[in-house]
Amino acid sequence: MPNWRSLKSNVFIVLVVILALIAIAPVFHIIIYITLRGLPVILEAGIEFFISTPAAVIAEKPGGIAPAIVGTLFMTTMATIIAVPIAVLAATFSAEYPNHIITKAVRATSRSLLEVATILVGMLVFALIVLPLGRFTGLAGAIALAIVMIPYVYTYTELALLSVPKTYIEAGYSIGLKKAQVIYLVTLRIARRGVMRGVTIGVAKAMGETAPLLFTAFGARNVIFGGPLEPMDAIPLMIFQFIQTGFENWNKLAWGGAFVLLVLYLTLFIISRRIVREVRV
């Protein structure tokens, strides 16, 4: 009987390992494939890949993706500055007043935005901002990405705040802290890993979006940075446009851009995990 139990345990462990490898195999396949296709392009172009604009389709070298890199960093940063405070404050209110009518409305809206195609967000910003201004702008792209980010940051932050043990909150009140102090000094500090997780996922989601930018930033291949009120390129937008062409130079830039985006993703997750490694009150 003990041998039979040991056999079943070993079979179960082997089965779990196999299933885990099957689950993560597509991720490693994507990473390896993008690296093999994108890294040689960057090595061939050198520093020009990061500081120059795309070359002509008949040029000997493909040029670079500086406009896309700068546009992605600018719009993602602006979107984060807009989205994170709104989402964290809304999640804090929802956690403190779970049965309030505003909380119910915010939760319903957040869940709806999670399911809505992001291209609809782009169309909304196009109607509200792009059309009145009469031009595509990087700022409009940032606003669209912020709307995409908010439900992710809100959802993860609310779950993190609700998971904080009530004893810690009651302890804060027992020593004379006011509500705002308890929220800032106790609740948010304990929940900051969950908050950071939500911010990381939201930023990663925004950084890889293409559809909203088609209606807002539109793209500017030959201008590295013309200002927030001018059209602006982004790495996902550049990849979407260049990979569909039959020009070898632009296809190379698309694969190189995909590798850069992959590195940005991995760097983002590594940094976020190292920022908050443990919970301290």
> What is the pLDDT at residue 279?
47
- pLDDT tens figures, 226-269: 889 999 999 999 999 898 888 888 999 999 999 999 999 888 88
Q: Inform me whether the pLDDT recorded for 57 exceeds 80.
A: no
Alpha-carbon distance of 160 to 153, in angstroms, equals 11
Domains of the chain: 66-275 (1.10.3720.10)
In which band, very low, low, confident or very high, does the pLDDT at 186 lie, cut at 50, 70 and 90?
Answer: confident
- d(CA 257, CA 236) in angstroms, rounded, equals 8
Please give the angle made by the CA atoms of 239, 236 and 118, to the nearest 5 degrees.
130
**Residues sharing a CB contact under 8 Å with residue 84, sequence separation 6 or more, in sequence order:** 149, 153, 199, 202
**Token output for 130:** 């792009």
**pLDDT level of residue 55 (50, 70, 90 thresholds):** confident
Among residues 235, 192, 228, 194, the alpha carbon closest in space to that of 213 is found at: 235
Residues 48-67 have a mean pLDDT of 87
Helices 138-162, 101-115: inter-axial angle, 10-degree rounding: 120
Please tell me the distance from the alpha carbon of residue 142 to that of residue 216, in angstroms, as a whole number: 9
Residue closest to 72 by CA, chosen among 271, 259, 219: 219
Distances (CA, A) of 160 to 51, 113, 147, 191, 192: 40, 20, 21, 5, 8
Can you tell me whether residue 228 is helix, strand or coil? coil
Tens digits of residue pLDDT in 7-32: 778 888 889 889 988 988 998 999 99
pTM, entire model? 0.88
Provide the β-strand partners of residue 54: 63
Evaluate if residue 2 carries a pLDDT over 60.
Answer: no
Q: Per-residue DSSP letters for 19-67?
A: HHHHHHHHHHHHHHHHHHHHHHHHHHHTTHHHHSPBPPTTSSS-B--HH
Amino acid 192: pLDDT: 85
Rounded to whole angstroms, the Cα distance separating 185 from 144 reads 32
Give CA–CA dist 3/1, Å, rounded: 5
pLDDT confidence bin for 276, thresholds 50/70/90: low
Residues 54, 252: contact at Cβ < 8 Å?
no
